Structure 1
Amino acid sequence: MDQVAILLPNLRLGGAEKLHVNLADVWAGIDVSVVFVLRCEEGELLDNLPPSTEVVGLDACRVRNVLWPLVNFLKETKPEAIIAAMWPLTVIAPLAALVAGYKGRVIISEHSPLSVAYGRHGRLHRLFMRASQRLCYPLADVRIAVSTGIADDLARLSGLSREKFTVIHNPAALGKVDVNAPCPEQISGRPGPIILTVGTLKSVKRHDLLIEAFSRLPASLEATLCILGEGQMREQLEGQIDRLGLQGRVLLPGFAVDPGPWYAHSDLFVLSSDYEGFGNVIVEAMEHGLPVVSTDCPVGPTEILAAGQYGALVPVGDAHALSQAILAALTEKGDQAALKLRAEDFSLQRIAHKYLDVISP
């Protein structure tokens, strides 16, 4: 196979960005050439790319400046296929391919429920988004959604039939579980169970709800809540921890390059988000055999957990229900083997080949 181009805003530490870096790593091992085409050539993941991977920066600080540099790239480089992720790049790429007279495969992928993610941007923004999808989505050869819920959402927004969208789940099980990983110092020697969540400290993740739910657990449990991640909500969360008198019981250790040891030495994983595109961290936890409690948020968790078969689902925004589910999960004996087997449905190797199937059918 010739070169595959991957169009992204940048290579910062986001779920979609990590997904494509992991795909490139697998493809490099089977001699698939990859070039990352970035709106802005920046991000921590630039250091994680396979040595054979190329990077092209479009130097387009604003999204509206992406079109013509991308047209020129397609004319000059002529990759076999281009994969564009995340709106509005998913409407710009098919348009650029049309203008450039590009003959390769154009594949677009969306990673969040856009009607929810942009729901507060106003009517004019919503009209523009829907019009751009209706006009440009049909120009792509393949339209990928990372969950069934996103595919349904995109069909409603764009007016295209649901059959026009292909669901390929995220490759969140990386096959890198280390059962002998040393316990992180922050949680080593704690007397009670360790409750873990992993995610950027931003409002949509609802770590404030999780802290509230945790505060309702019996003190006799001697549980510790660890919120692994970094972001703009740190100050507010620290204030909440202080107000609730949870100092030393709720930990904010920051971002971890490798969260594996945290999964390996925790007793329960909790996701408290208002919405998700998929929920990679749920799969990561299951790959370690870690029981899961999640809000039944749009759109990924219920698919991963098979409507509650592999973990508890509670209403969004309900601290009492979340607290009760956490307590129940801590007192039940989970089936680690079943959780690990389910995680294999989202393995990196399996998903990488599903992408190759649509790149070169």
Structure 2
Amino acid sequence: MKLRVVFHTPSLRGGGAERVFALMANAMAARGHQVTLFTWNADGPNLALLSDQVQLVSLDMPIRGEGFGKAATLRGIWKSARYFRRTKPDAVFSAPEFANLTTALALVLSRSRARFFPTYHAANSLPSSNLGARIAIALSRIVAQRATRAVAVSAGVGRDLVARGLPASKIAVVHNPLPPAQPAKRDYPWHAAAQAMGDGPLIVTAGRLVQVKDHKTLLDAFARLASRRPARLAIFGEGPLESELRAYADQLGVSKRVLFPGYVNEPAAIYQAADLFVLTSTSEGFGNVLIEAMAHGVAVVSTNAPHGPREILADGRYGALVPVGDADALAAAIAETLDRPPPRELLMSRASDFSVETIAAQYEALLR
């Protein structure tokens, strides 16, 4: 049955949830549904991923810093309610947490009868340490009441949702999809910059330059490694901590061996150049970058962050897991993996478990 399906994310900036929704919108449209990607601001690199089969609707609201501001958020909720009232979708998927809250409120205001699937990408994403977070927790009860099913991107995130009060019967665990394989289409300036750093394997990571990604521990581990063997490090991504991280690399004496190329919207270029991928998050609901690297046959090392990495790497079968924030253990795991990487075929086989086709079938099953 052809359904009117809306995927909503506030913006299309570079992030895991935004990339997942672009891929899922494409896949659901390819399966014959009438699909709309509804956003408050369509600017961002993930817009380039969207298929011509998917309708794009944007409220064109300006982003200030990392968000929209309180007054603009209230206007966005009201405009979203008007959109849902006018278009009468059969199903609405939303992400990340902020969008789950605003979408639930908009659906209630619009009196929409659409099935609602709030999607949770982060572990323990609503700490109760301040007034704003406590208000968000209270509002999350509206999300739980309005939701048809809550989609958790890992079993661990699902357990977090149960701990927060969502009924287990309302939670569906659906992992994030692996983007379709595409070879890198061109060389980037950072290719030459990486070669200019000298000899040694190229260690890479990719993600927002924010606290939760804990790039400082990666830099600490790299400094230990680089004192014993030639190596290079490339930290891909954008974010508010870039200048601080550059200064820290300089403080550690490794700045000439560390590259900050910014955000690259062609992940294949990163993985094709990499000898090893490292993820150092303190919390990671899933960990899309791990399966992307593995799909290219690149060995991975990850912190045992709650919750995705352990599930993806099957308790360490497909890549080393180290304690969060432990630079010594991370440096040792990187050295060990560089010397004895897992077979490429094993990594690529595991990554195929998360194909777009497999995950899209699970999304579609929710609609039944």
1:154 to partner: Cα distance: 1.3
1:41 to partner: Cα distance: 4.2
- Structure 1 partner of 2:181: 176
Q: Percent identity?
A: 36
- Structure 2 partner of 1:3: 4
Distance 1:336 1:142, change over 3 A: same
1:181 to partner: Cα distance: 7.7
Matched, 1:127 2:134: yes
1:95 to partner: Cα distance: 3.9
- Structure 1 partner of 2:341: 333
User: Match of 1:230, SS?
Assistant: coil
User: Match of 1:248, SS?
Assistant: helix
- The amino acid of 1:342's aligned partner reads R
1:205 to partner: Cα distance: 1.0
RMSD between superposed Cα atoms in Å: 2.2
Matched, 1:154 2:155: no
- Aligned partner (choices 228, 243, 252) of residue 244 of structure 1: 252
Matched-pair contact (CA < 8 Å) for 1:177–1:287 = no
Matched, 1:166 2:172: yes
- The amino acid of 2:274's aligned partner reads S
- Structure 1 partner of 2:65: none
- The amino acid of 1:4's aligned partner reads V
Aligned length: 355
Q: Which blocks of at least 5 consecutive residues in structure 2 are unaligned? A: 62-67
Question: 1:102-141 CA deviation, whole Å, 9 max, x = no partner?
Answer: 233221111112x3x443x624334323322223312211
Matched-pair contact (CA < 8 Å) for 2:272–2:296 = yes
Distance 1:154 1:3, change over 3 A: same
1:317 to partner: Cα distance: 0.7
User: Match of 2:233, SS?
Assistant: strand
Matches within 5 A, 1:53-92: 53-58=54-59, 61=68, 62-92=72-102
The CA distance in 2 between the partners of 1:214 and 1:129, in whole Å, is 38
Question: 1:192-221 CA deviation, whole Å, 9 max, x = no partner?
Answer: 211111112222111111011011115452
TM-score, scaled to structure 1: 0.91
Distance 1:43 1:167, change over 3 A: same
Matched-pair contact (CA < 8 Å) for 1:181–1:264 = no
1:315 to partner: Cα distance: 0.7
1:295 to partner: Cα distance: 0.7
Distance 1:131 1:220, change over 3 A: closer
1:318 to partner: Cα distance: 0.8
1:47 to partner: Cα distance: 4.0
Matched-pair contact (CA < 8 Å) for 1:111–1:150 = yes
The CA distance in 2 between the partners of 1:206 and 1:338, in whole Å, is 28
The CA distance in 1 between the partners of 2:247 and 2:110, in whole Å, is 53
- Structure 1 partner of 2:286: 278
1:269 to partner: Cα distance: 0.9
**Which aligned segments of 4 or more residues in structure 1 are displaced greater than 6 angstroms?**
179-183
Matched, 1:207 2:215: yes
User: Match of 1:294, SS?
Assistant: strand
- The amino acid of 2:38's aligned partner reads V
User: Match of 2:8, SS?
Assistant: strand
User: Match of 1:131, SS?
Assistant: helix
The CA distance in 2 between the partners of 1:122 and 1:232, in whole Å, is 22
User: Match of 1:23, SS?
Assistant: helix
The CA distance in 1 between the partners of 2:26 and 2:35, in whole Å, is 9
The CA distance in 1 between the partners of 2:107 and 2:297, in whole Å, is 44
My pick for the range that moved more, 16-25 or 219-228, is 219-228
Matched-pair contact (CA < 8 Å) for 1:82–1:104 = yes
The CA distance in 2 between the partners of 1:349 and 1:223, in whole Å, is 37
The CA distance in 1 between the partners of 2:319 and 2:338, in whole Å, is 12
Distance 1:74 1:187, change over 3 A: same
TM-score, scaled to structure 2: 0.89
- Structure 2 partner of 1:187: 194
- The amino acid of 2:168's aligned partner reads R
- Aligned partner (choices 140, 145, 155) of residue 138 of structure 1: 145
The CA distance in 2 between the partners of 1:232 and 1:222, in whole Å, is 29
The CA distance in 2 between the partners of 1:290 and 1:330, in whole Å, is 10
- Structure 1 partner of 2:46: 45
